[in-house]
Amino acid sequence: MTQFEDKYSEYRKAFEEILTEFCNKLNCKPKILSESLKYSLQLGGKRVRPVLMLAAGELLGINRKKLLNFALALELIHTYSLIHDDLPEMDNDDFRRGKPSNHKVFGVGNAVLAGDGLLNTAYSILLRECFNGEENVSAAKYICDCAGISGMIAGQSADLLHENDGEVDEDILNFIYENKTAKLISAAVVTPSILCGGKFYSELSAFGRDIGFLFQITDDILDVEGSFENLGKSVGKDNAEGKYTEVRLYGLDGCKLKADLLTDKCLKILESFDGDTEFLRELTYFVRQRIN
């Protein structure tokens, strides 16, 4: 394992301990509710948002324990969005993380409820954090805003609205990418900043936005060049369904160029920190070169 892989799995393990504890305590009635929540949470996934949060927290010198509940809430919100995104009336995908999507196993109604349940529980975790001081209140609000109607939900709404447009408009595309994908990823690195009084706030916001865009563009590239085996979900759907993507606007080569430019932008922002940014630099390359 490289030093980067070692560190990634250390962050991931720290996060998955609290996730496992959360899953073990789930005891809903009826039982199918716990099962459907656990199914999606424990399917795997890269855990890139929690890893980003713990890495940014370390850069700022925050005690990891202060971050774990925020990381848990963020991953719960992300998982809810994937369950709902896979539904027949949304992106209609039968597979996620290499396994049948939540609604293929539990049915559409239960999958809607699983997503609702994860979102509700995330808010409850964030609400509890609000008793730990004003900075926690601001951090919780920031995550809610990134996930909500001025964030991820707005992005998904615009995505649905424009999915059958004949031409791709750059401003609309940027709106969709920023809100649907970049805001939640950005929340991962901005939350630690808020928790320590706004240290490096503007740098981390800019880094989060750019790595979020990069993440979405590499997602588009992978939809063309990736495989089901690596991605664990269907490929080629964007093109087949005429979806609103950067590939349609700039072509595959244009997208790769844009991804390289965003990578450089992220690396440049990291130069302005006085701490050790090696892991975040490597993580940026990882997002650019990812195959899953």
Of 76-84, 120-128, 160-168, 264-272, the segment contacting ligand GRG by CB under 6 A is: 76-84
Any idea which residue has 């795997």 for tokens? 44
Q: CB-wise, 97 or 209, nearer to ligand GRG?
A: 97
How many chain residues interact with ligand GRG (CB under 6 A)? 17
- Give the integer Cα–Cα distance in Å for 38 and 40: 6
Any idea which residue has 């609702």 for tokens? 116
Does the protein bind ligand GRG through residue 46 (CB under 6 A)?
Answer: yes
Does the protein bind ligand GRG through residue 256 (CB under 6 A)?
Answer: no
Does the protein bind ligand GRG through residue 153 (CB under 6 A)?
Answer: yes
- Give the integer Cα–Cα distance in Å for 139 and 154: 20
Of 7-15, 82-90, 192-200, 276-284, the segment contacting ligand GRG by CB under 6 A is: 82-90
Q: Which run of H or of E encompasses 147? A: helix 134-147
- Give the integer Cα–Cα distance in Å for 82 and 190: 22
Does the protein bind ligand GRG through residue 102 (CB under 6 A)?
Answer: no
Nearest to 95 by CA among 223, 233, 219: 233
CB of 261 within 8 A of CB of 246?
no
- List 19, 48, 68, 146, residue binding ligand GRG (CB under 6 A): 48
Pattern 169-198, binding to ligand GRG, x per CB under 6 A?
-----------xx-----------------
Q: Give backbone dihedrals phi and psi of 95, rounded to 5 degrees, phi first.
A: -130, 145
Q: Which residues here bind ligand GRG, judged by CB under 6 A?
A: 45-46, 48, 81-82, 84-85, 90, 97, 152-153, 156, 180-181, 215-216, 219
